[in-house]
A and B are shown apart, each in its own frame.
Chain A
Amino acid sequence: MTSIPLIGEAVAVAAEPRLAGAKIGVVTFPGTLDDRDAARAVRLAGATAVPLWHADSELGDVDAVIIPGGFSYGDYLRAGAISRFAPLMSKIIDAANSDAKLPVLGICNGFQILTESHLLPGSMIKNDHLKFICRDQTLRVENANTAWTVDYTDGQEIIVPLKNQDGQYIADEKTLDALEAEGRVVFRYVGFNPNGSRRDIAGISNAAGNVVGLMPHPEHAVEAGFGPESLDGAPRDTDGLGFFTSVLTKIVGGDK
């Protein structure tokens, strides 16, 4: 008989003292929704979350930055198009492109902001079925070598929530071919493409692998009892924690 653990049993996160000093910034724009969730994910991974305000002109001494999901400026213009001009964004763009290669993760609206900022290529348009969709989504990790995926393995399948209205990833064929060739397709939808994204692409990285963006929400799958289930009901609620431990591995331990 298989034993199913109690729902919501506390996961003891291995609190490595060397991780606690790692500071990960979480940016809040007007209309950001998942900032507290991203900060919780950072904490559960063992690091310190530092709130960052879009209007700040300094990034401070953070070791990495997460741009969380939401509807910044209501998505009333193209999603992410206004946030891209926030004073803090120019600092993030500079730091991501610098020699230090600041790790940056954009989730959902954060991914849209990264494409608008040209840190990542392509763009997101309205879902092909034209509706908002919220579901537990299976993803395949296509590249376990980026700053945000080193704790996964190539080809590993994970389940994390997906929830968006404008999630259809598009780019011209040349760009898509280049992304594939360079191993910059980091995540692909498996089983069901929820928004019509080209080549089932769920997330991509920049050439250096320090900047990653994806539509699904790993920060909603970091705590037992509060994340997705697999089809047979087995808990898959912490599949997303690897994003946050990966960047810590990168920050404090160098490459795997």
Chain B
Amino acid sequence: MTTETTKKFNIDTVEHAAKTPDTELPWAELGLKQNEFDEIVKVLGRRPTGAELAMYSVMWSEHCSYKSSKNHLRQFGEKVTEEMKKDMLVGIGENAGVTNLGDGWAVTFKIESHNSPSFVEPYQGAATGIGGIVRDIISMGARPVAVMDPLRFGAIDHPDTARVMHGAVAGIGGYGNCLGLPNIGGEMVFDSVYQGNPLVNALAVGVMRHEDIRLANASGKGNKVVLFGARTGGDGIGGASVLASESFDDTKPSKRPAVQVGDPFAEKVLIECCLELFKGSLVEGIQDLGAAGISCATSELASNGDGGMEVELTSVLLRDPTLTPGEILMSESQERMMAVVTPENIAAFEAVMDKWAVEYSWLGEVTDTGRLIITWEGEIIVDVDPRTVAHDGPVYDRPFARPEWQDSVQANSFTGSVEDAGRPSAPTELAAAVTELVASPNMCSKAWITKQYDRYVGGNTAMAFPDDAGVVRVDEETGLGVALATDANGRYTYLEPYQGAQLALAEAYRNVATSGAVPMAVSDCLNFGSPEDPDVMWQLAEAIRGLSDACMELGIPVTGGNVSLYNQTGTTPIHPSPVVAVLGKLDDVARRTPSGWREDGQAIYLLGTTAAELDGSEWSNLRGHLGGLPPKVDLAAERALGEILINASRDGMVDAAHDLSEGGLAAALVESSLRYGVGARIALEELMERDGVDLFTALFSETQARAIVSVPRSEEVRFKDMCTARGFAHLRIGVVDAAGGKLEINGVDELSLEALREAHEGTLPKYFG
């Protein structure tokens, strides 16, 4: 193998570019629009070099620049009160937001999408989704402590769904298990709208001491820039191959996988190695390499710093020596980090690398020129203001308008529709309906998935699937910990995007409060279709407006997140799917509330009132109907309910709590009974009388701001007094029955727990083996 790498390339230097202004460049093939290319020429005052073009094209892509959503995303930063900011240590814009937990602890979390790679190559797509989000967490200076995966697939019986499901779940397990991070929850939804655009989102959470917070910036003239971790290869180079003019040699391997390939072992070693660097305060700034690879890391570090940066690209350690400069800049090889190190710390840095057998190479240093200069054997191939690459990309005010079809969709209510014919009412019909519901693809047990994930590693998992939220202990001395839940309802959001996004937040908030934790912060992953479609753009704009308004009302800030657009097949977009993650805090995880009841004779209460809200519900979905308006949002009620659940947990007034969401009361009663195999006797007559609903509606309506709890006899008076004092509707609907082995609901034929379990747990194995 020749070491004379430079000889093979027709290096397009800055000097050469200045002399050859008329050279044709493949900007269109790299995804740039004419106006964007013109802007680059204007910024540089000349045509870009091939390497510069590669950098701008990836950094100005929708994925990296948020050019279609930026104008709307601003609201997350604007609709924030001083009160909401008080615990935010690092806000939007860094790799992940950081929230103060107290006692000197801080927590960082973020959710991201890895959708299209997971459709093309489900195993690697989902695996590297975990890898990427975990590196974001490490970059903040934190030790990652858990992951979660909200998943949305096509129809459960479509032949391609099994391919994506098997691959994605195995990839998440294969990568996450090998990293030693417990997987503590997530979601699973099947809907044909996701057939060609499955949503594979990944969340990671990490913890650190306040003093360990690290930021991605390159400051201090003379400090050294180092790239460490895996070598740079040809994976994930999307369009860079069109920069063929760089290469004389057409014998090189040209066809490379567009999906990155993960190496979880390398990532695990990288985690430990980075934590050792942080412990020794050996890095000044650090940035992970994800989308847009070295282009992103160098431009963001330099742009966030106080000077410039100069980097020699031939110093990058390569897995494939035939890579061109443009390809090296764009490569999305995984498990790489870039850091800034002071000259005094070089030896100590290298010692840590050697201990963990991690490869590294020194690429250059921080300068005071304000320019990002990249050389190839000394010849300048990139000379840019890093801000223009990293932050000053194009921003579009995409046209949006309420779709013409929205009215007719909203007018088409489930009640009274053709699909609603033969609504169950007799006791046998209702029993069959409950069983059908809990066996349905979206409501069935997710154990087939979660048993492929390690939930124990780390020894701090206090709660995981199937409880409402995942709970992880942070401080072993005090029991301080965090709770996390993610939620989204694409059908609700399709019916009414503003409200749908709020409902996603409300549910995640409720789930966290149900576990006993105080909600503190939000991260969101906005999965939508093409922003160039005004209908979709309206959905996105409305969802962001709704979400930011609701965050303000609930008093919890968005600390970070991600936008995934163009999730559509042809002209058919997915349902707008804003996946919302809420993080909460528990002073002592020992006080967490599980979702199942255990103790015979405890009273079961339903908190909140029930209206006839079946539009967009799981029941209507089972009958093949989608229309009308989603359940009403009542954030004041959500807040009041949350406070009751948190106080009840803190003061030991409830032993179990489960929120009501998709599938309504019917689903919640079955899940709380199956959690520990302990049944209940339920009577809903008083509820029906009070709320003016029939038994079917009481069971299947998806009215929000509701939860069921089991209350020890000794606490009943105190619990009722608390609800009364807070003016929150509460009704005793039944009692825990440990001996019967069944769920008895007046007016519904007896449901044996054994039969319910078989129905609930049988679905995924039936389809996926």
Whether chain B is bound by chain A comes out as: yes
Residues of B within 8 A of A (CB): 170, 173-174, 177-180, 263-266, 268-269, 355-357, 450-462, 473, 476, 479, 588-592, 594, 596, 598-601, 652, 655, 675-678
State the Cβ distance, A55 to closest chain B Cβ, in Å.
8
A30 touching B170, Cβ below 8 Å: no
A131 touching B265, Cβ below 8 Å: no
Chain A residue contacts of B451, Cβ below 8 A = 133-135
B265 touching A76, Cβ below 8 Å: yes
Asked if A253 is at the interface (CB within 8 A of a chain B CB), the reply is no
Beta-carbon contacts under 8 Å, A218-234 to B: 219-220, 222-223, 225-227, 229, 231-234
B357 touching A37, Cβ below 8 Å: no
Q: How far is the CA of A234 from the CA of B676 in the complex (A)?
A: 9
B268 touching A226, Cβ below 8 Å: no
- Give the size category of A's interface with B: 35 or more
- Partner of A8 from the list B356, B458, B479 (CB cut-off 8 Å) is B479
Asked if A14 is at the interface (CB within 8 A of a chain B CB), the reply is no
Chain B residue contacts of A227, Cβ below 8 A = 456
Q: Assuming the A-B contacts A33-B268, A76-B265, A233-B677, are A225 and B590 also in contact, with contact meaning beta carbons closer than 8 angstroms in the complex? A: yes
Closest Cβ neighbor of A70 among chain B residues: B180
Closest Cβ neighbor of B481 among chain A residues: A8
Chain B residue contacts of A242, Cβ below 8 A = none
Chain B residue contacts of A8, Cβ below 8 A = 462, 479, 588-592
State the Cβ distance, A108 to closest chain B Cβ, in Å.
10
Asked if A161 is at the interface (CB within 8 A of a chain B CB), the reply is yes
Closest Cβ neighbor of B676 among chain A residues: A233
Q: How far is the CA of A2 from the CA of B712 in the complex (A)?
A: 12
Cross-chain pairs A/B with CB under 8 angstroms, 16 sampled: A3-B599, A8-B589, A8-B590, A31-B178, A33-B179, A70-B180, A71-B268, A74-B263, A132-B170, A132-B173, A132-B177, A134-B454, A135-B451, A163-B177, A225-B462, A231-B677
A31 touching B265, Cβ below 8 Å: yes
Asked if A78 is at the interface (CB within 8 A of a chain B CB), the reply is no
Residues of A within 8 A of B (CB): 1-4, 6-10, 30-31, 33-34, 36-37, 40, 55, 70-71, 73-76, 131-135, 161, 163, 165, 217, 219-220, 222-223, 225-227, 229, 231-234
B456 touching A1, Cβ below 8 Å: no
A220 touching B459, Cβ below 8 Å: yes
- Partner of B677 from the list A30, A131, A232 (CB cut-off 8 Å) is A232
A226 touching B459, Cβ below 8 Å: yes
Closest Cβ neighbor of A8 among chain B residues: B590
Q: How far is the CA of A34 from the CA of B265 in the complex (A)?
A: 14
Q: How far is the CA of A3 from the CA of B456 in the complex (A)?
A: 26
Closest Cβ neighbor of B473 among chain A residues: A226
Chain B residue contacts of A220, Cβ below 8 A = 456-457, 459
State the Cβ distance, A103 to closest chain B Cβ, in Å.
22
Q: How far is the CA of A147 from the CA of B676 in the complex (A)?
A: 35
Chain B residue contacts of A131, Cβ below 8 A = 170, 173, 452
Q: How far is the CA of A223 from the CA of B462 in the complex (A)?
A: 11
Q: How far is the CA of A135 from the CA of B456 in the complex (A)?
A: 10
Closest Cβ neighbor of A162 among chain B residues: B456
Q: Assuming the A-B contacts A73-B265, A132-B177, are A225 and B589 also in contact, with contact meaning beta carbons closer than 8 angstroms in the complex? A: yes
Q: How far is the CA of A196 from the CA of B412 in the complex (A)?
A: 53
B452 touching A34, Cβ below 8 Å: no
Q: How far is the CA of A33 from the CA of B144 in the complex (A)?
A: 13
Closest Cβ neighbor of B176 among chain A residues: A132
Q: Assuming the A-B contacts A36-B459, A163-B177, A226-B459, are A30 and B356 also in contact, with contact meaning beta carbons closer than 8 angstroms in the complex? A: yes
A71 touching B265, Cβ below 8 Å: yes
Chain A residue contacts of B459, Cβ below 8 A = 36-37, 40, 219-220, 222-223, 226
Closest Cβ neighbor of B173 among chain A residues: A132
A33 touching B180, Cβ below 8 Å: yes
Chain A residue contacts of B461, Cβ below 8 A = 226
Q: How far is the CA of A74 from the CA of B177 in the complex (A)?
A: 11
Chain A residue contacts of B456, Cβ below 8 A = 134, 161, 163, 217, 220, 227
Chain B residue contacts of A1, Cβ below 8 A = 599-601
A30 touching B265, Cβ below 8 Å: yes
Q: How far is the CA of A4 from the CA of B738 in the complex (A)?
A: 13
A233 touching B596, Cβ below 8 Å: yes
Chain A residue contacts of B677, Cβ below 8 A = 231-233
Further contacts, 10 of them, CB under 8 A, given A37-B458, A71-B264: A8-B588, A8-B590, A8-B592, A10-B590, A31-B268, A73-B265, A132-B170, A133-B451, A134-B456, A233-B676
